[in-house]
Structure 1
């Protein structure tokens, strides 16, 4: 194919190939979601409809991207883990991050009315994305543990904070009361003043959402007969489990073996 005289502009494109043989994590975050939540009247501290919408969008990304072995989400963020030897888009950071964040955002908008049918979408949501390489299994585990601990800390604080506000006090008063309190003290405030047992809060709120590919029997149409038949496929499945303890990884050795 003949080249035009304008093709020289390609030399200004920067190489952004990610390190080989490393875990790739694409983390997406909502931009301006505090205002987005207020505008769409989402329940504080947790709106289960909005969280399930996030999970649906992430599940859709995994369906479209076989190289993703695990996804973890909380609040308005999601992390997607690509296997070590992934050659998706030749490991180009910009292509990987832009594709995953656009898939996620489009599915978030597409499924909005399914999860929030009584709350019309007022304006498009926005998410940003970044790719980070983690060179070892342990560092990948530590990354996921960090996000899950962050989920617990934030949810504990927000649960108490909004219980105080919904109880009739101002946000400033709630901040002042919680300043310097321990986890045990927050749970005591919840139980003694508002009758809320934190241990009985939904696991999705406390632990976040983990999506793994699980063997699932599904109905498919046979290419030979054109009739429906049952087949076992690896389907992205959502659960609310602890990824910090060794037990999670011992029970699923195939995850870290996803080279």
Structure 2
């Protein structure tokens, strides 16, 4: 760019580098999605087409941004995790957030007709906001992921019961809300079963556990890799050569990206997939 007398305005830009050696989570949320869902008459309490669309957009984002190690989605939100060693965009928050938000929104709109062929989009178009948060330890990161999955369960149990009272019990939304006021999980489970014959345990896992997106490598035996401990004890950011970084990037780009509905709170999920915390690509599964 040519120098000019106007170039001084660059001095107004503020640095927004995220803290080194921390896990970065970029979480996006749909803007005004309650009205958006009503506009397109989504099924209650869960519209599978809407969930599949969110997951498809998330897979596309992970395919394009290979630095993402894992993503987790529920309802109209998605969390994308960058390894603590990530140096993408020099860890600038504005660049990371805007890239994830814009890429996700672009694919969401592009893929809309695949999942809602009979409901063409009209103005206002769907949009998402985003934020970046740094977590200093593996435990902090796992607690964040656990928080989102627990939130998924709590919200889904409430919504399942709420809409059963309306759709099967003939209540209006005010009556259903009052009926559930002050109830605990056990109360909702009992209400669903005794009144409507619904066993919440038999509800689809995608609704109860949300969606986990990651690259698919060969699973390992639990306890054979102490990746979490190694990551916690790493005082300084891991420095890899440029050539090694490129090799790892190519391996990640070739890996199959999967969407699963698993328990990410227990140790087994992380223990069998050490690449999520090590950021080192695993072995590609053999073809059946």
Mark yes or no: TM-score above 0.5.
yes
Corresponding residue number in structure 2 for 1:81: 81
TM-score, structure 1 length as denominator? 0.91
Q: How does 1:215-226 map to 2 (within 5 A)?
A: 215=217
Corresponding residue number in structure 1 for 2:216: 214
Secondary structure in structure 2 of the residue aligned to 1:117: coil
Corresponding residue number in structure 2 for 1:196: 198
Shift in Å, 1:233:
3.3
Matched, 1:136 2:140: no
Matched, 1:253 2:274: yes
Q: How does 1:220-239 map to 2 (within 5 A)?
A: 233-239=254-260
| CA RMSD between the two structures | 1.4
Aligned partners of 2:43 and 2:111: how far apart in 1?
19
Shift in Å, 1:64:
0.3
Corresponding residue number in structure 2 for 1:36: 36
User: Cα deviation per residue 1:185-222 (whole Å; 9 max; x = unaligned)?
Assistant: 10111111112111111101000000010149xxxxxx
TM-score, structure 2 length as denominator? 0.82
Secondary structure in structure 2 of the residue aligned to 1:242: coil
Corresponding residue number in structure 1 for 2:189: 187
Corresponding residue number in structure 2 for 1:91: 91
Corresponding residue number in structure 2 for 1:220: none
Aligned partners of 1:188 and 1:45: how far apart in 2?
18
Shift in Å, 1:183:
0.8
User: Cα deviation per residue 1:81-118 (whole Å; 9 max; x = unaligned)?
Assistant: 01111111111000100010000000000000001111
Corresponding residue number in structure 2 for 1:148: 149
Shift in Å, 1:155:
0.3
Structure 2 regions of 5+ residues with no counterpart?
219-252, 281-288
Corresponding residue number in structure 2 for 1:178: 180
Count residues in correspondence. 244
Aligned partners of 1:59 and 1:69: how far apart in 2?
12
Tell me, yes or no, if the aligned pair for 1:215 and 1:233 is still in contact at 8 Å: no
Shift in Å, 1:256:
1.3
Shift in Å, 1:122:
2.5
More strand by share: 1
Corresponding residue number in structure 2 for 1:13: 13
Aligned partners of 2:91 and 2:267: how far apart in 1?
30
User: Cα deviation per residue 1:47-89 (whole Å; 9 max; x = unaligned)?
Assistant: 0000000000000000000100000000000000011111111
Shift in Å, 1:166:
1.1
Corresponding residue number in structure 1 for 2:118: 118
Aligned partners of 2:107 and 2:34: how far apart in 1?
20
Aligned partners of 2:120 and 2:194: how far apart in 1?
38
